[in-house]
Amino acid sequence: MIDGRALEALERTVGEALATGRTDLLAVLGRGEVSVVLGWPAEQPAWACKRLPPFADGGAADRYAATLARYLAELAARGVAVIDTEVMPVAIDGGRVVLYCVQPALSDAELAVPLIRNDPDRARPIMAEIVGAATTVVDAAVGLDGQLSNWAVVDGRLTYLDITTPMLRRPDGTSELDTKVFLASLPWALRAVAHRLVIPGILDRYHKPRTVVLDLAANLLKERLDQHIPLVVELSADHLTPPLTEVEVRRDYRSDARMWSLMQSVRHADRWWQRRVRRRQYDFLLPEGIER
C-alpha cells in the first residue's frame, strides 16, 4: 500500500486545496454524498484514498479504526469480499488526526458502474449477486450500502468498496459508530438536530434488506442506468415482501435526491460563510457537481 510520506504529501495537497479553494490540485476519482475519493499520485493514481473528516485526537481516530476493523471482519464472516483497505493516520494542527482509507485504484473494466455501462450483458449476474448479498447478509446488526457504485469485479469476484461508514449496531439498536464526526461539516446549529432526527433514519435503511435493494434500484437513476431497474425488481421479487415496483423505486429516488440536495446546499452555504465572511479555512472536502 501507500507509504506514510506519500500520504503526508497528499494531505499537504489537500491542505493547499482547502486553503485556496483550488480543487484542480486534486485528482478526484469518485464523489459520494458525504466525501470524495482522491487518486494518488495525481498524475497516474495507484491508490484510491478517501479522506475522513478530522478527528479531535488520536484516541477518537483509533476508536473509529477499531470499529471499522470489526465491520470488515463481520462482512468477511458473512461472505462479502471487500477490497484490500488500509486505514492510515496523518497528524494535522491542534492535535487533530485525519484518517485515510486507502485502497488500490481500479479501472473502468473493474468498477461495476462503467463495467455495466460498457457491457450491459454483465448487469444480470452482477445485480443478482448484489441482491443476494442484501437479502442474506443484511440484518439489524450489520448493514450494507448496496448502491452499484460501491461494487467492483476484482479477479472475477464481486467486491465491496465503500466501507468508510461501518454499519454495526449493538443489540439495543444503537450504532457502534460515533456518527458525530460525519456531521462536522454541517453548520454547528444543525448538528444536534441531524444527529437525533436525520442520521438514525439514514442508517436504518442500510439495516433492512428491502430498503438496501430499493436503494440499489433507485440509484440506477442517478447513474443513468435506469433501463436496469426492471431487472432489479425482477431479481428481488422472490426475496422481498411486498415486492418492489418501479413506481416505488422512482418515488424513493426523488425523495432521497431532495434530502441529499438539501444537505449539500446547506454544507456549501456554510463553506461560503466560513471562507468569505468569517475568513476561516473550511476543513472539509465537499463533493461538487453531483448530477441527480
For residue 79, give the amino acid letter: G
Residue 290 lies in a domain: no
pLDDT tens for residues 55-92? 999 999 999 999 999 999 999 999 999 999 999 999 99
Within a domain: 287: no
Q: Is residue 289 part of a domain?
A: no
Whether residue 288 is contained in a domain is answered as no
**Grid coordinates belonging to 187:** 453548520
pLDDT at 199: 81
Phi, psi of 214 (to 5 degrees): -60, -40
- DSSP, residue by residue, 110-153: TBHHHHHHH-GGGHHHHHHHHHHHHHHH-SSSB-----GGGEEE
C-beta atoms surrounding 114 within 10 Å: 16
28 within domain boundaries: yes
Please give the residue range of the domain that contains residue 243: 4-275
236 with 243: CB under 8 angstroms? yes
Q: How many CB atoms lie within 10 A of CB 241?
A: 7
Residue 235, in any domain of the structure: yes
Residue 11's Cβ-count burial label (10 Å; 0-12, 13-18, 19+) is middle
Tell me the one-letter amino acid at 127.
Answer: M
Pair type for strands 97-104 and 47-51 = antiparallel
Cell of 144: 450494507
Quick one: cell of 270? Answer: 456554510
Residue 216 corresponds to which cell in the numbers above?
Answer: 440499489
pLDDT in tens, the chain (292 residues): 788 899 999 999 998 888 887 778 889 898 776 678 999 999 999 999 999 988 999 999 999 999 999 999 999 999 999 999 999 999 998 899 999 999 999 999 999 999 999 999 999 999 999 999 999 999 999 999 999 999 999 999 999 998 999 999 999 989 998 887 777 778 777 777 777 777 888 899 999 999 999 999 999 999 999 999 999 999 999 999 999 999 999 999 998 888 878 888 888 888 888 888 888 888 878 777 666 6
CA–CA separation, 228 vs 234, rounded Å? 10
Query: Rounded CA gap, 29 and 26, in Å?
Result: 9
Query: In this structure, are residues 151 and 123 in contact, taking their beta carbons and an 8 Å threshold?
Result: no
Q: Please, which residues have CB within 8 angstroms of residue 226's CB and are 6 or more apart in sequence?
A: 220
Position 27 scores a pLDDT of: 92
**Residue 32: inside a domain:** yes
What distances in angstroms separate CA 236 from CA 75, 78, 109, one per listed residue?
21, 20, 26
Predicted TM-score (pTM) of the model is 0.89
**291 located within any domain:** no
Tell me what pLDDT residue 33 has. Answer: 67
Q: How many domains does the chain contain in total?
A: 1
pLDDT value at residue 178: 85
Task: Tell me how far apart the alpha carbons of residues 141 and 169 are, in angstroms, rounded to a whole number.
Answer: 5
